[in-house]
Structure 1
């Protein structure tokens, strides 16, 4: 009976793991990068390397509030993000359908900071959150994949339960490739099991109210509820709204800001929203463990406090806690690095599972169309996606900074390179040379990753180059580390 159960669980683990794994590799890879989306956006705005952070002044906040009122009177659904240690700048932003775009201002003087248009790190958040496909069908796919991960984890535990302690001690990287992949897959799955279960469960719960509104109540449809508040930034462009607010003389924002800080605490206000004559001073996602939309609501015309809004009940507070656990906006830098590494290991573990699936079926099915399609898709998500992410960074620095619609061009480069990797993978897979497909894409990634640091040095100001580790060096060194790993994999694949 136990052996029959393990056989059935093995079939379930194999097929659910492969189909769901194709999506999960994308979501885990993109989610890992989205943990540092704000930092990636700053890297993709090299003009900010010349900027010295300064405290926000009341005068600057009031002036930016006046500019936001003018933009809204012209039809832009604008809101303000306030400075944080991760993004020490004031921004006026609006949503363009995929990204929050807008303009940047010095927090001490409200002087405009000229920055290039870019989707920044928000591309990775959207890819993680909805496969860049939209708020319903994209969320539906990631939701199904998250549930599939829970099924795969449960079946994997049943399969390996008898040997779980032995598997923890065994890793044979220089054994046969099948054995090495199996050992790495099992070891990563066991060690990072709590992280993957937690991320899959919280991700599924976060999406549930959007997919099944009858169970979720109000989903707080305010900007930034499920994504970072200070992320994608570009030069200001107007986006028409259905009901543009008239902009009467607006009350200064600074007194409202200080009153909100008196209620929620110093340094907790991160977002200023406007809605039909009302101003909401809203808590930042990083202000507490739970992500909420607690805010003070004021009259825009005279600054009178209208009401204080907090999470209305235990269910909403629990939802905010799960979002806080999933997005960890509150976390210090070491914990976010731990999440990042755990996410990459999770992606590698699922990539290993995809490869093991192909290894198992290669002898019997290598010549079949469905097997070659499966191999094409596996190459596309395991090596093609990282290559596209790297191309996105390169495009940011090589495309003219003042070209129109450049953020859209960056995104098209990302998907164009990814499509090229799919075509290349299909060519190699359907010609019976899939190993060369992996090898060539790993080599390309390694080459361009190792060259990113020189690219960075050539395309931005070096005024602060010797001032210790900053966002720019951190991104460069991380990519170099990943490129070195890709080169080692390339060398391993090149051996007979």
Structure 2
């Protein structure tokens, strides 16, 4: 491989990374937190009972039907999600009609009464931010994230090319060496999780592929909402829609249908119950199977909604291309991952964030050492501070807002998000007003303080604080507070180390100046 080719790849690696680095850092941080979206949702609703739900799927289905008969007897479609799985800790019902959109309620599984949980954006909103960003139209955000992901793929491949001793460098970290340390840290974070970085980037592009090929969809299925709906219906190979007959009929008991599905698939195997045309002679009940495998099954049992007779065992064939896509999407989302594997996902995700952050800092550090302190370098330095150090401050403010905002505040979930971005905007203003060196220290210090405050605020505002969660063996609730304390300790360690490094550099500079003065005086004699 020629030196000229390596140089061109190094140029591509550097500039593609700098141009999209801040977006990629945001995507890595919010997307990685999304792997614990369910646990964050639970922490952000402290009113939720700590004890696990013991209601079986059949009883939960009957409870859901009773509630839907009360609130939406004329809806065209009901959906009931029984509790018991990690992603469904509560009984959830939803309904939709002729108007677009649908309504959703969370119920107490034992009583069927609406759950009185605080309104919160939760972990699911953080997860969606990694591909929808915030305050932008969804399609525009998808294009921005997709362009950044494509650049990320180029950066990764170019990085592999330019490193002659890739795997040797992956286990090398020389501390206290300035630019060399930043390069080692960048390489370490990139290479150790390289398979994950390649998988998550490519699968993310596949996941949003329909957005990027909307012209192809429009050509094959027609433009507008109807064409997109036709495409998605065919792609998902869902149960055929049955039009209502317009003749009233009594809905069959749902519990026996759920029990019949569980007799085929096993206990706790029902993921969702969908009822088309409830109360109509052409009602249909589809019981979908729950799976935790990367290749998500679409197996469903379809029953006549009046007689309860099984009319279809819906197991759509999966083509090779469709199967590959499903595996890639499943690997990207990581919903199948058990706790240890999920933590590995999180560690690799934060390694990606560290890889991007160290690359951005490396770019400015190298140019400062080369005395290339142009306006562009100064701008990048300040953006690095505001994004790399400021985003964690914003995310911590998001968690704190969940505890500090009034529970009855209108639009409370939106204000949690607003709090995150207001504080982050303040971090940008601070980075613009302060010298970069001071801004780094002050924002890292602010992050350490906010992270340490989170468990304290939780202790003062709820009864599910860290001590009680640990005593009760509730590792989900204890995990958020414990992770905040660990993050605070990490930032405090970085702060202490940076201060010590700055003091050592100042002392060394003073010694050099003293030596130069002594040499001048000696020469004068």
TM-score normalized by the length of structure 2: 0.80
Partner of 1:147: 150
8 A Cα contact 1:70 1:247, kept in partner: no
Residue in 1 that maps onto 2:494: 489
Matched with 1:208 is 209
Residue correspondence of structure 1 range 86-485 to structure 2 within 5 A: 86=86, 87-93=88-94, 102-132=104-134, 133-160=136-163, 162-176=164-178, 178-213=179-214, 214=216, 221=232, 250-276=251-277, 277-284=283-290, 286-314=291-319, 315-362=321-368, 363-368=370-375, 370-428=376-434, 433-462=435-464, 466-485=471-490
- The higher radius of gyration belongs to 2
State the Cα deviation string for residues 100-156 of structure 1 (Å, max 9, x = none). 984332334434432111111011111112223343221222222222111111111
- Residues 149-183 of structure 1 show CA distances to partners (whole Å, capped at 9, x for unaligned) of 111111111111x222431342112222x211110
- 1:42 corresponds to: 42
Equivalent-residue separation in structure 1 for 2:296 and 2:184 (angstroms): 38
**Aligned mates of 1:492, 1:326 — CA distance in 2:** 35
Answer whether contact 1:250 1:301 (CA < 8 A) is retained.
yes
Q: Which residue of 1 aligns with 2:239?
A: none
SS of the residue aligned with 2:80?
A: strand
Aligned CA RMSD, in angstroms, stands at 3.0
Cα distance change, pair 4–418 in 1 and its aligned pair in 2 (3 A):
same
Query: After the TM superposition, which residues 29-68 of structure 1 pair with which residues of structure 2 at under 5 Å, given as runs?
Result: 29-56=29-56, 58-68=58-68
Q: For each residue in 1:192-236, what CA deviation from the matched residue of structure 2 results, as whole angstroms up to 9, or x when unmatched? A: 1111001111111111123214379988858xx9xxxxxxxxxxx
The whole-number CA distance in structure 1 between the counterparts of 2:25 and 2:461 is 32
Q: Could you say which structure has the greater relative contact order, defined with CA pairs below 8 angstroms and 6 or more residues apart?
A: 1
Distance 2:195 2:372 in 1: 35
Normalised by the length of structure 1, the TM-score is 0.85
How many residue pairs were aligned? 465
Looking at structure 2, the residues matched to 283 and 46 of structure 1 have their Cα atoms a distance apart, in angstroms, of: 30
Q: What are the ranges of 5 or more consecutive residues in structure 1 without an aligned counterpart?
A: 226-244
- CA drift of 1:442 comes to 1.1
Distance change in 2, residues 1:151/1:74 (3 Å): same
- Is the Cα contact below 8 Å between 1:435 and 1:493 reproduced in 2? no
SS at structure 2 position matched to 1:35: helix
Q: Which residue number corresponds to residue 240 of structure 1?
A: none
**C-alpha contact (below 8 Å) 2:469/2:477 kept by paired residues:** no
- Call closer, same or farther: CA 1:422–1:260 in 2, change over 3 Å: farther
Q: Runs of 5+ in structure 2 lacking a partner?
A: 222-227, 237-245, 278-282, 503-525
Q: Distance in 1 between matches of 2:380 and 2:273?
A: 47
